[in-house]
């Protein structure tokens, strides 16, 4: 049973929310019920897929062992960096093996939701190293990893924030507010995904360039890129809103994932608005670390060069994470270059500095940005591949 896709999921969800609401309204903690409900939902998710279930159980065992082994070292004051590194490698390994296996059409260690659970496990391991997580309850950790509403595709929550929500009790009026917002988010998300997403997907009909005049051919490609972009937004933002809404019903305020991304005025702004929990995760745990270590070793001559290299590493990794295919790697490199170019332009261009506060300039920036973003969508969807392939093979 796939979450948010099979109609049965919504029936089970509605039923599962009832006890959560009873606990919430009566001022009880929802945590232990939520944990049990999550495990039940994961049983439904993996269903008869024994391979997936085993891979998931193996991941969970590795993550728990590695994390608490590292935590013990930090709590004792030993703070062995090699243990941190081993723990990090151990939780990332299944995802890397799975992604490489996928290139050869083999499913090795993969299960639905492997990426998102890996992001969460990595966050905990790094924050223990940073002395930000000084102690952690096993049930809290387990609940954080297996919480079912954002399990398959995010949003990516953070453990300290999650544990605070999981351990609190709400007053009846606070919970009523949370539940009402949760149900609202579920409904809006369903309209986004099931209605708007479906409509835009209907108009996405990619094809190689035809024999018509160039402007109609180009127009058709631009139309497809836009339709795919809107489809992806409504599909994914809709899913994210539903995951957020369902979390609210369990007393967990899962963070939002999108904030009007098509209103962005440059690509940096776009990544502050699109799949935000992934971009902030990458920012905090990849970009930041890459920039930091490069700065310390003085690998580049100044901050601008360092930032450009950091963007490239960050976005290439994001592309590779989507899948080790040409399209995704090009997509990652595309944004790596754009982020660096935007940085250089905004820091060096006198024209930009002179006009950045003027309205006409903002409109031009927005227009350029949305088209650059839609070109990115065409790379991501494989549309560009079809067109370029069509040109080469005639």
Partner 1 sequence: MAENSVEERMLELIEEICDDDVIREERDVDLFEEGLLDSMAAIELLVAIETEFGVTIAPTAVEREEMNTVNKIIYQVQIRYDAQ
Q: Which positions lie near partner 1, rule CB under 8 A?
A: 123, 127, 130-132, 158, 268-269, 272, 280, 283-285, 287-288, 291-292, 295-296, 303, 306-307, 311, 339, 343, 347, 356
Shorter beta-carbon distance to partner 1: residue 30 or 308 = 308
Length in residues, the chain: 394
* Cα–Cα distance list, 365 to 219, 223, 370 (Å): 21, 20, 9
Instruction: Tell me whether residue 4 or residue 311 sits nearer to partner 1 (CB atom).
Output: 311
Nearest to 274 by CA among 216, 335, 225, 223: 335
Shortest Å, Cβ 99 to partner 1: 25
Closest distance to partner 1 from the beta carbon of 296 (Å) = 7
The minimum distance between CB 267 and partner 1, in angstroms, equals: 11
Q: From the candidates 201, 322, 352, 385, which is the catalytic residue?
A: 322
Q: How far is the CB of 363 from partner 1 (least distance, A)?
A: 16
Q: Which of 232/339 has CB closer to partner 1? A: 339
217 versus 284: smaller Cβ distance to partner 1: 284
Question: 144, exposed or middle or buried, with CB in 10 Å at 0-12, 13-18, 19+?
Answer: buried
Catalytic residue flag (residue 322): yes
| d(C-alpha 362, C-alpha 366), whole Å | 6
Euclidean distance between CA atoms 37 and 14, whole angstroms: 12
CA distance 199 to 239: 16
CA distances from 67 to 62, 87, 166 (A): 8, 6, 20
Smallest separation, CB 268 to partner 1 (Å): 5
Structure tokens at 285: 């745990």
Distance CA 98, CA 345 (A): 39
DSSP string, 284-295: IIIIHHHHHHHH
Q: Is the dihedral of CA 250, 254, 256, 257 positive or negative?
A: negative
d(CA 88, CA 211): 53
Of 153 and 159, the one with the shorter C-beta distance to partner 1 is: 159
151: nearest Cα among 173, 118, 105:
118
In angstroms, give the least distance from the CB of 259 to partner 1: 13
Cβ atoms of 247 and 182 within 8 Å: the answer is yes
In the chain, DSSP finds a helix count (H) and a strand count (E) of 18, 0
Minimum CB distance to partner 1 smaller for 257 or for 306: 306
Q: Known catalytic residues?
A: 322
């Amino acid at each position: 049973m796939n979450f948010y896709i099979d109609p049965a999921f919504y029936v089970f969800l509605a039923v599962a929310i009832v006890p959560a609401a009873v606990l919430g309204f009566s001022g009880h903690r929802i945590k232990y019920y939520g944990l049990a409900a999550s495990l039940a939902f994961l049983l439904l998710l993996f269903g008869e897929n024994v391979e997936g279930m085993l891979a998931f159980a193996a991941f969970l065992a590795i993550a728990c062992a590695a994390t608490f082994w590292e935590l013990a070292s930090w709590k004792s004051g030993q703070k062995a960096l090699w243990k941190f590194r081993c723990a990090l490698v151990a939780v990332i390994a299944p995802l890397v093996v799975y992604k490489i296996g996928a290139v050869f059409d083999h499913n090795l260690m993969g299960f639905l939701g492997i990426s998102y659970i890996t992001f969460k496990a990595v966050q905990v391991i790094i924050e223990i190293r940073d002395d930000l997580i000084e102690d952690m309850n096993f049930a809290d950790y387990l609940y954080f990893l297996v919480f079912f509403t954002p399990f398959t595709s995010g949003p990516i929550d953070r453990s300290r924030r999650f544990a605070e929500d999981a351990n609190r009790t709400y007053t009846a009026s606070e919970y009523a507010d949370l539940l009402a917002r949760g149900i609202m988010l579920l409904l809006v998300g369903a309209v986004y995904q099931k209605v708007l997403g479906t409509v835009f997907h209907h108009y996405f009909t990619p094809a190689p360039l035809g024999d018509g005049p160039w402007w109609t051919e180009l127009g058709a490609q631009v139309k497809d890129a836009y339709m795919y972009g809107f489809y992806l937004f409504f599909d994914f933002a809709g899913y994210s809103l539903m995951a957020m809404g369902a979390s609210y019903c369990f007393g967990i305020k899962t963070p939002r994932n999108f904030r009007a991304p098509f209103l962005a005025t440059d690509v940096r702004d776009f990544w502050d608005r699109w799949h935000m929990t992934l971009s902030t995760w990458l920012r905090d745990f990849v970009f930041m670390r890459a920039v930091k270590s490069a700065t310390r070793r003085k690998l580049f001559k100044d901050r601008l060069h360092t930032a450009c290299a950091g963007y490239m590493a960050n976005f290439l990794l994001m592309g590779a994470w989507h899948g080790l295919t040409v399209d995704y790697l090009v997509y990652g490199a595309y944004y790596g270059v754009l982020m660096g170019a935007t940085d250089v332009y905004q820091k060096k261009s006198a024209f930009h500095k002179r006009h950045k506060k003027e309205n006409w300039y903002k409109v031009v920036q927005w227009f350029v940005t949305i088209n650059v973003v839609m070109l990115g969508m065409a790379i991501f969807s494989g549309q560009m591949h079809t067109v370029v392939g069509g040109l080469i093979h005639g």
